[in-house]
Amino acid sequence: MLINHDASGNGRVAPFLPSNSQGTEESFGRGPIAKSTFTVLRRCSSSIVCFIFVFFLAMSSAARLSAQTAGVISGHVADSTGAVIPDANVTLTNVGTSAERSTVTTGAGDYTFPDVPPAIYKIQVTRTGFKTETSEALELQVQQSLRQDFTMQVGAVTATVTVEATGAMLQAENASLGTVIENQAINEMPLNGRNYLSLVALSSNVNTVSPGAGQAGSRLGGDRGSQSISVGGQRIMWNYFTLDGLNNTDPDFVTYVGLPSLDGIQEFKVQTGVYPAEFGHEASQVNVLSKSGTNTYHGSMYDFIRNNTADANPYWFPYNAAPAKVYPYKWNDYGFELDGAIRIPKIYNGRDKFFFMVDDEWRKIRTVGQGSATVPSPAIAGGDFSSFTIASGAPVTIYDPATGDVNGFGKTQISCNGHLNVICSSRIAAPSTALEKYLGSSTTPFYSGGKQVANYAYPTTGPQDRQGLTVRGDFIQSQRSQYAFRYSSGNEDILSTGFMGAGSKIFTQYYQYMGSNTWTFTPHIVNEARFGYSHFFNSLGLLSAYTNDVVDAVAIPNLKGGLPSTWGIPDVSFSTGPTGTTPSIWQEIGDIGGDGPYVVTDPTWEIVDNLSWVKGKHSFRFGFEYNRQTFNQLGNQFSRGQFFAKPLATALQSGTVGSATLSGGDAFADFLLGDLYQSVVAVAVAYANYVRNVQAYYADDTYKILPNLTISAGLRYELTPPWNDTFGNNFTVDLPVMPKITDTSSTYPQSQWPFYVRQGSCTPANVYQGLAINWTASSSGLGSPPVCSNGTLPNGPLLDTHYLNFAPRLALSYSLKPTLVVRAGYGIFYSQDIGNAYFDMARNIAGRVTYTNTDSTTNIYGNSNLTWANAAPGGSGGTTVNLPASTTAFVDALEHKTTYSEQFLLNVQKQVGQDWSFEFGYQGAESKHLYGFINANVANPYGYTNGGTATSVASRTPFANMGGIQYVQDWGSGNYHAFSVKATRRFSKGLNVNASYTRGKSLDDTSGIRSQGNDELFPQNNRCIPCEYGPSAFNIRNRFVGSALYELPIGPGKLLPVNNKGLDAVIGGWQIGGIFTHQTGQAGTVILGYDNASIAAAGGNFDRPNPTGTSPYFTGSSRSLNTWLNKAAYTPAAAGYFGTLSRGTIVGPGFTNLDASLHKVFNMPYNEKHQLAIRFEAFNALNHPNWSLPTLTYNSSTFGRIGGTAAMRQLQLAAKYQF
């Protein structure tokens, strides 16, 4: 889809560059930081010079890509008496590419091949006086430590003995946990949406059926915005995604950047537990390895289709009037994959040398629906209310706001040329006329049977298009040097059309480059380096974005359309007026809610270098990583304006001043005349160009003390500076004191009031330079002007940099016998939370104003003093706007600690036979310095400060000079404890099985900065974070997941041989598969839904009730979807007090799901290596309704009612040609 370019010609890839900013290298975060230690690291964290230095350092030392995906192959060589054989020659050969590596056994008879990319290998061992030993094919998986021992027989070297490939399934070298998902499972398991991350759920200690990240859906959107993977009891934002060992993680909401096609993935692993110090950045790792070519050509073409005609109907809730209507839905995913050796006839033969892989995938979704609205008749739309009535049929009088006195008394009925209740076209405001285009009209009556009805039906559509390309090359320069290259790109367009041009639009684009080299200096020293560049762009905006500048066309004074990414339709809603006026019936105009757009452009450069050194019983690994990360974001709320009309100006006021009543009037009539009740408009769109230079250094030592005892010790150091806005426009708030729960006083003296601080160096005279706003004194006449940092705070990021993020790792693996290993470990893991919350500080300079029509005893809804002429602030038109200091401020704590988790485990793994392994173990974690929101300037409840006597909120607010202060604090903590059982059968004799059960518990006092799913954005008591301690939003107490693939044993050479080709074509080649999940419900919190404590907290009301002691759950015949929870279990606290109910005490309905597949493979008559596979897949095959949480708002009329389910059964058909 083509996008209009802006004036710079950069289009949407460069969505913003404010006119007052400098897009030069000087904007990349240079300048001193007031620290005297770690000088070199400090300079690298603030200068691109370090990037250039590290780049040449890494490239000059050569290397390759496999650090985060490679494995290790090792073993022991002895003779038939058990005596070790030193100096034996060991050769490792990649079966697919013929690439070879060689080493010799140590004096203890051991050999090790570090940094081996996953593939199928053969091993050959030779020694003078002994027969040559050759193993059968061994498959090395992602990050696997594979062991193959040899017992050599006396004889001539020319005699060869083939050794059975034991390929032990035990992880005996470290305490890393996780499940490797092989290529066959990736390609043949039933996956709804063909997303490889669905298979993450097959690991123990992993939960993927939990709520998504709060606000990620409204600020990022798409599949990334609904990511919900919790690993090891950690936050869903703490997963570090890598692709071929390089960063594949976007910092906005810590989601993946590129989503590789299933057919382009060799395998992947979810890594948890105590993994080596080589890995970091987040508490959990999702490592993906792309497929590489071999000497043999392989390929596939496929098409997966799904539509609503084969799907089950949505679940019908008995208290709904009628079953939900089913609308057309079409889903189509198709593509191809091809790999092999590069050959150009008579020019070049790349066999054993040069290999390629290319895959391309497209997905198209088409949905059609229908919406309904109540719109005015053509006459009313033109100002003719002469036949306008309320639902009962009584006429409505429209009064003329231009008549009557200053207090609104004595108005007369409006008329036009003698026609009563008619507004002349000349009096209809120009912006209102322009906006009517987005409301429309209908000749169908909007009342029927004495009730309001929808009289206008409109179509809705939801087209989605996604495409992803991967091209990879592998070049074997020599036995010492191997190169790999990859280019990946993708785009995604998601549109949702709504009422009269309203709707949303998501554009996503990314591209990545990867280059690597592995250099074998000696058989015991291997160096690998990788270089990568990733560029991610995501625009979540409105349907008009980039195509239709509605704001400028409507021409509301001072409101400007701005950049193409911000375009949309202003929001106008019609609401009910005071008692006696007509109810609101009209459809809301425009893009409802006023949120967005949010546009990110995030390029990342990365250098990684690792050196492996095998020395005696030690396997050392050293490395460093440098990331030049950029997080550019543009966005805000209410950039197009949100406007409210009430039946006030056109209503008649009667009675006396101070006790008047209203009658007549209509909100739409007020709107036509340009009389508004309220407007909410952003002064500007927030923007920031954040950069940081991330460094990591590590050392690992795997020490094989005894043949059956290994200790792994490592230390990782991470330096992750705060984001620095190179535009220089960031403001924070300096809080001299932080309100405490023990405070009994309501307000603080002026000497302790907070004040705004601008980054960088400036003077009071130019503290506002380049901005469209000024902060003025509060309404009380008190205020503190902003100041410049000038060394009082860090000049760049306005947050402290922490230089002591050391992360030790220690693990022990003890093999009681060759098929039984015990593992234990401890480690510290640092996590970087979402960058999106940091962007909030950029919103300080965007400003937001709320104008409300006068409502006082001196002018009670008289002639309106709020019209289109003054509904928007002048700042959008180029004039500085004075904002009250009471505007909400967005702050990140200056002195914040880096979030970290201490993880520990004890695990026993047992191999049974050649193909089965079982694991039993405990895994735990203690998390410290969890980030979360509080309001640092919220009132104390009067019950605690004034003996229960109600006083004004203002009198109990700590800082009289400011409004709400949204503050990101680091006071949270959490823990996770779990026991798990896991069974694995690797694919053998047509059967593959993975099954695990986890019983765990995750507790914390905040589950995410932006909250998560059913969690709340702010705590009930902003001064008591420990009071929020309870089950995490992602807490699942019991979870079982099992998967299997089984090839029916029918056909040539199988249990039931069929040698007739015709018969085999019918009954042979069948495969069944499935993934079954059963788990207990999600955690939820009951809230009152109103401000019972009287604190007027910004962000919403999160007061909880008191428990009464009655069970909250109905049982037996009393329990139904309509009565799931018992309201009698709760009662509101006394007014002015917080409730005593804990957070997360409700456990919702459980989740049970079976995804099943049936495959039939046809061998092509012209070549049996060419096959056509027909696949039939059913998601939620049992059509089991998986209920949502019930309504948890106490004062809701639907409290305790369940009103939603996950998707019911969906059927999918596919054809795949492969060779």
In this structure, are residues 540 and 506 in contact, taking their beta carbons and an 8 Å threshold? Answer: yes
Domain assignment present for residue 1031? The answer is yes
In this structure, the chain runs to a length of 1219
C-alpha distances out from residue 518 to 268, 435, 478, 840, Å: 21, 63, 10, 43
The Cα 202–Cα 286 span in angstroms is: 13
1090 lies in some domain: yes
Question: With 60 as the cut, is the pLDDT of residue 315 above it?
Answer: yes
- pLDDT the model gives residue 1011: 73
DSSP 6-61: -TTS-GGGS----TTS--SGGGTT-S--S--S-HHHHHHTT-THHHHHHHHHHHHT
Mean pLDDT, range 780-787, rounded to an integer: 59
Residues in contact with 1182: Cβ distance below 8 Å, sequence separation at least 6, in sequence order: 1152, 1153, 1154, 1209
* pLDDT tens readout for residues 455-491: 999 999 999 999 999 999 999 999 899 999 999 999 9
955 pLDDT exceeds 50?
Answer: yes
Q: Which domain holds residue 160?
A: 71-168
Query: For the residues 69-86, what does the mean pLDDT come to?
Result: 85
pLDDT, one tens digit per residue, over 418-449 is: 999 999 999 999 999 999 999 989 999 998 88
| Number of independent structural domains in the chain | 2
Range with the poorest average pLDDT among 287-301, 492-506, 623-637, 836-850: 836-850
Q: How far is CA 867 from CA 645, 672, 674, 875, 1010, in A?
A: 10, 11, 5, 17, 36
pLDDT band at 658; cut points 50, 70, 90? low
- Chain centroid offset of residue 533 CA: 21
| Contact partners, residue 332, CB within 8 Å, separation at least 6 | 303, 304, 305, 306, 363, 364, 365
Say whether 658 sits in a helix, a strand or coil.
coil
Say if 695 falls within a structural domain.
no
pLDDT at 953: 87
Residue 5 has pLDDT above 70, yes or no: no
Do 164 and 310 share a structural domain? no
As a whole number, mean pLDDT of residues 942-955 equals 81
Domain boundary among 120, 146, 168: 168
Q: Which two tokens stand for residue 315?
A: 């679940």
> Which of 55-59, 858-862, 915-919, 1125-1129 has the lowest average pLDDT?
55-59
Structure tokens at 459: 């179509």
HEC letters along 1051-1114: CCCCCECCCCHHHHHHHCCEEEEEEEEEECCCEECCECCCCCCCCCCCCCCCCCCEECCCCCEC
As given in the structure block, the two tokens for residue 739 are 């309100």
Q: Between residues 220 and 763, which one has the greater pLDDT?
A: 220
Comparing CA positions, the residue from 147, 168, 74 lying closest to residue 916 is 168
Of 168, 187, 222, the one marking the end of a domain is 168
342: nearest Cα among 300, 298, 295, 301? 295
Characterize 492-501 residue by residue with b for buried, 16 or more Cβ atoms within 10 angstroms of its Cβ, and e for exposed: bbbbbbbbbb
Residue 214 has pLDDT above 70, yes or no: no
Residues of the chain above pLDDT 90, percent: 57
Helix or strand (DSSP H, E) at 188: helix 183-188
- DSSP conformation class of 838: H
The answer as to whether 989 is a domain residue is no
Q: Which H or E element spans position 985?
A: strand 965-988
∠ Cα 418 421 422 (to 5°): 70
| CB-count exposure of residue 6 (10 Å: 0-12, 13-18, 19+) | middle
Characterize 935-945 residue by residue with b for buried, 16 or more Cβ atoms within 10 angstroms of its Cβ, and e for exposed.
bbbbbbbbbbb
Confidence label for 7 from pLDDT (cuts 50, 70 and 90): very low
Q: How far apart are CA 635 and CA 551, in angstroms?
A: 16
374 in any annotated domain = no
- The answer to whether residue 209 sits within a structural domain is no
pLDDT at res. 17 = 36
534 token code pair: 């990733």
Q: What are phi and psi of 470, to 5 degrees?
A: -135, 130
Q: Are residue 1155 and residue 1009 in the same domain, yes or no?
A: yes
pLDDT for res 986: 86
Q: What is the CATH number of the domain that holds 136?
A: 2.60.40.1120
Identify the domain boundary among 111, 141, 168: 168
Torsion over CA of 347, 351, 356 and 357, rounded to 10 degrees? 130
Q: Is 53 within the bounds of a domain?
A: no
pLDDT digits 0-9 by tens, 230-276:
999 999 999 999 999 999 999 999 999 999 999 999 988 888 888 99
Alpha helices in 620-727 (DSSP H): 667-673
Provide the pLDDT for residue 250: 95
Question: What is the rounded average pLDDT for all residues in the chain?
Answer: 86
Question: Where is 819: in which H helix or E strand?
Answer: none
Percent residues over pLDDT 70 in the chain: 89
Report pLDDT digits (tens) over 1041-1093.
999 999 999 888 788 888 887 887 888 889 999 999 999 999 999 999 999 99
| Strand boundaries in 552-684, DSSP class E | 571-574, 595-615, 618-637, 642-645, 652-654, 661-663, 678-682
Output the six-digit token pair for 986. Answer: 């690797």
Position 677 pLDDT exceeds 70? yes
CA dihedral 213, 217, 220, 226 (to 10 degrees): 60
DSSP string covering 221-286: -HHHHT---EETT--TT-EEEEETTEE-EETTTTEES----GGGEEEEEEEEEE--TT--SSSEEE
Task: Say what the pLDDT of residue 1064 is.
Answer: 79
Does 563 reside within a domain?
A: no
Give pLDDT, residue 3.
36
pTM: 0.87
Six token digits for residue 1096? 């007027």
Q: Which two tokens stand for residue 846?
A: 């965007």
- From 697, 831, 614, select the one nearest 277 (Cα to Cα): 697
pLDDT in the model for residue 784: 59
pLDDT at position 1076 is: 97
Residues 6+ apart with CB under 8 A from 496: 460, 461, 462, 503, 504, 505, 543
Cα 421 to its chain centre, rounded Å, is: 53
Separation between Cα atoms, residue 104 and residue 88, nearest integer Å: 5
